[in-house]
Amino acid sequence: MSSTLLYYDVLRDIKTIEQLEEFSSDIDNILSSLFKVKNKNIEEILNKTVGQKTLGIVKKLVETNKIDASDYNSLDKLLNGIKQDLRKIRILKMFLAIDPTSEIIDHVFDWVKKNLGEGIVLDIDKDESILGGAIISFNGTYKDFSLKRALEGIFQTKKDEIMNFAK
Amino acid sequence: MIIDPLVFFDLVIALFVLAIALAAMALSYSQMLKKFNTYQKEADESESQVHKREADLLEDARIKAGKIVEDANKKAAEIIGESNILNRDSKKTLDEALETLLKHQTSYFEKVSQDFLEAYKRELESLKQKNVEIVKNVSKDMEEDTVGEVNDFEKVLQKETFEAQKIVGGKIEEEYSLAQKELEKYKNEMLSKVQDQIYKILENVSKLTIGKSIPLADHEELIIEALEKAKKDGLGNEKL
């Protein structure tokens, strides 16, 4: 079982920091339930402890790694491995003027995966004052490409033209 | 205490010599006193003789002086008597002469006074006429001078007034120009402030308008565009 495979499979559906936190919390719940519940198979435990999304991901991992329904130890090992990999995930912080739809989140995430690589999730906050565009913070770098800043730049450099136009 | 006999003998001899010397001195002093008394007596006698002679001389002189004064008095009385007689005669003659002279002089002075009075009147009249002329001339001159001075003063006043008007006009012009400049400056400043405020309002209105009028699709496009720009600007190239 390699880390690359884990990333590919697990992180495909985790795009935002909220999803990541939820998934991480679900993993912790599964791990804590594994040795509390006796005489139940893994699927039953998963059904009772996590939501549909995490359930789908973990089931898929169990199937891919051919873990037996009663092999708690293998599942424990797998989930701890995932937890360690989750710590390596990087956060791309974004301030947007709107509450992004899931469609927009998908497009942004795809762009990030394609241009910046895998293992990155989005941490999006809403700030209407930026008007549009985005303020991006990643790996300690801060970039302001908001519409507000662009507009201020235009108003600063093209005062005469704007005033003439206004007249 | 025992004194040596030799010393004692010497002392006795010394005392003896001293006694002899003192006796000699006393004798000499006594003789000198005697001489002094003799000289004193002689001097007193000479002085009394001198005094007596002086008194005699003074008495003689007093008697002679009295006689001279008496003679002089007598002579003076005689002269005074003679002079009184002469005086009376002279006075009479003098009175007569004075009377004649007085009459003569009175008539003369009357005539002279009359002539002088006439001449004085004529001179006074002439002087009066001259004074009238002078006063007339002076009045005329004064009038001319006054008129001339008034004219000059008027001209100077006109000139000064004109100059003052010119200066005041210049000052007013200068102040007006300065005020205009300041007004222009103030106007420009206010205009600039108003323009800045308008511009700020325009900017805020633009922000409000643009922010609310962007469709969701355009927002997505702007977000992707921001990511593209950030990437071009080095996003993701950081060393971790």
Chain A contacts of B233, Cβ < 8 Å?
Answer: 143
**Which of A107, A115, A145 has the CB atom closest to B226's CB atom?**
A145
List pLDDT tens digits, range A55-69.
888 888 888 888 888
Q: Taking the model in full, what pTM does it have?
A: 0.53
Dump the DSSP string for B56-79: HHHHHHHHHHHHHHHHHHHHHHHH
| Average pLDDT, integer, range B227-234 | 92
| Average pLDDT, integer, range A111-124 | 92
Closest chain A residue to the Cα of B225, Cα to Cα: A133
Between residues B186 and A44, the one the model is more confident about:
B186
Chain A contacts of B240, Cβ < 8 Å?
Answer: 90, 139
Q: A91, A89, A92, A65: which is closest to A79 by C-alpha?
A: A65
Q: What are phi and psi of A68, to 5 degrees?
A: -70, 150
Upper half-sphere CA count for residue A127 (Cβ side, 13 Å): 16
Is pLDDT of B113 > 80?
Answer: yes
Q: Residue A17, Cβ neighbours under 10 Å: how many?
A: 16
C-alpha separations of A154 from A109, A130, B203 in Å: 30, 15, 10
Any CB–CB contact under 8 A between A124 and chain B? no
Q: Contact B202/A166 with Cβ under 8 angstroms?
A: yes
Q: Which helix (H) or strand (E) element contains residue B130?
A: helix B5-213
In this prediction the ipTM stands at: 0.85
The share of chain B scoring above pLDDT 70, in percent, equals 98
**Which of B207, B224, B240 has the CB atom closest to A131's CB atom?**
B207
**Which of B198, B222, B235 has the CB atom closest to A132's CB atom?**
B222
Q: Contact A138/A93 with Cβ under 8 angstroms?
A: yes
Name A7's Cβ contacts closer than 8 Å, sequence gap at least 6. A85, A118, A119
| Average pLDDT, integer, range B140-162 | 89
Is pLDDT of A4 > 50?
Answer: no
**What tokens does B165 get?**
């008007």
Cβ separation of B220 and A104 shorter than 8 Å?
A: yes
